[in-house]
Amino acid sequence: MSHDSHHTTRPIPFEPARRELGVIVGFDGSKQAFLALHYAARASRRSGRVLTVITAFTVPTPLYTTLAAVPEQSEAEAHLAAARKVLEEARSYLQDYPGKVIYRAERGDAAGVLVDLSSIAELAVVGARGRGGFLGRVLGSVSSALPAHADCPTVVVPRQYPVGEAEGEARFEPSADQRPVVVGIDGSAQSRVATLQAAQAAQNRGVQLHLLLALPSLEGWLQWYPELNAPEEAVTDRRKTQLEKSLEAEVEWLKRHYPSLEVTALVRPGDPTALLVRETDHAQLTVLGTRGRGEIAGTMLGSVSRGVLHKATGPVMVVPYLKDDRLADQPEFIR
């Protein structure tokens, strides 16, 4: 894959209406894949876009000792047939789904296939674990990690995701969940792109958007900065007040682009990963950028995003650095 560099050097062009695959979902027949499929179906209904179900297969290099050992059906044909059988499971599950669905069996590494197709998708969805095919590879390999390298937002669906008990077409109606959408911010351009995507998600759901800015603890730092010479609590309170002013500007900027959206914001002292993991239990969607101010350049998936994905109990959307003209009037973040 050739997705290593541009995510850190320039924003990715992103026009959802021109991305022909709509919502893509990685499907391998596992229990978690069915949860991801259900989430993706609801997301497609909500956006009115096509749903594209993708399964990937690889073909090992054949090695035969004699001509007689060569099978009548080629390895490639056999693996393609198996992949199509997996897709039939998805087709059966979606038999009452009223929207347009595309089914694709693609040859290649599962995460790599999804990354490549993400350039023509509006949203990618995967389950938190699979049969060694999807998120097991996604979080285990930086070179093929979907949330780190995708050219569109990626939603990771946890095993706790509820599909409900409705039947027929009603199974795939978007959830009436009134919990907020939460987005972790840090004032970087990347986090503002994530905030805009989170705002759209909240508006589409008709729910509140909550902005969370984490203020890490000063524990262990005061000895290195004796000039601060103040109790940690006093320093933290002062810094919290400063950041709250910046947060007010963030809300004002966001409201210019989403005037009807209800937005709340909070600066909360604590470890960013732990705070956001906690939010995944109370939000219907938690949104993060791939990386922010504190991350090392060249690191595709920041430590916070990676940590939240590993421990989340609710769906998490990871947003890459997308091109968005609304950043032209972004406020200065006073640190």
C-alpha–C-alpha distance, residues 210 and 181, integer Å: 6
Q: What whole-number distance in Å separates Cα of residue 127 and Cα of residue 38? A: 10
Q: Is 19 exposed, middle or buried (0-12, 13-18, 19+ CB in 10 A)?
A: buried
What is the Rg, in whole angstroms, of the alpha carbon atoms belonging to the chain?
22
State the angle between helix axes of 31-47 and 75-93 in degrees (0 to 180), rounded to the nearest 10.
Answer: 60
pLDDT, residue 46, reads 95
Round to whole Å and give the CA distance between 292 and 78.
Answer: 44
Residue 189 and residue 330 in contact, taking contact as beta carbons nearer than 8 Å? yes
CB 27 within 8 A of CB 55: yes
Q: Confidence band (pLDDT; 50, 70, 90) for 62? A: low
Given a contact cutoff of 8 angstroms between Cβ atoms, the answer to whether 265 and 251 are in contact is yes
pLDDT band at 141, cuts 50/70/90? very low
Report percent pLDDT > 90 for the chain: 58
Q: pTM of the prediction? A: 0.86
Residue 303 has what pLDDT? 80
Helix H or strand E encompassing 38: helix 31-47
The tens digit of pLDDT for each residue in 208-248 reads: 999 999 887 665 445 444 555 555 566 677 778 888 888 99
Helix (H, G, I), strand (E, B) or coil at 265: strand
**pLDDT at 219 (0 to 100):** 59
pLDDT confidence tier of residue 58, bands split at 50, 70 and 90: confident
DSSP per position, 67-135: GGGS-SS-HHHHHHHHHHHHHHHHHHHTTT--S-EEEEEEES-HHHHHHHHGGG-SEEEEES--SSSSH
pLDDT tens, residue by residue, 272-310: 999 999 999 999 999 999 865 444 333 446 788 888 988
The model's pLDDT over 149-180, given as tens digits with 9 standing for 90+, comes to: 899 999 999 989 999 889 999 999 998 899 99
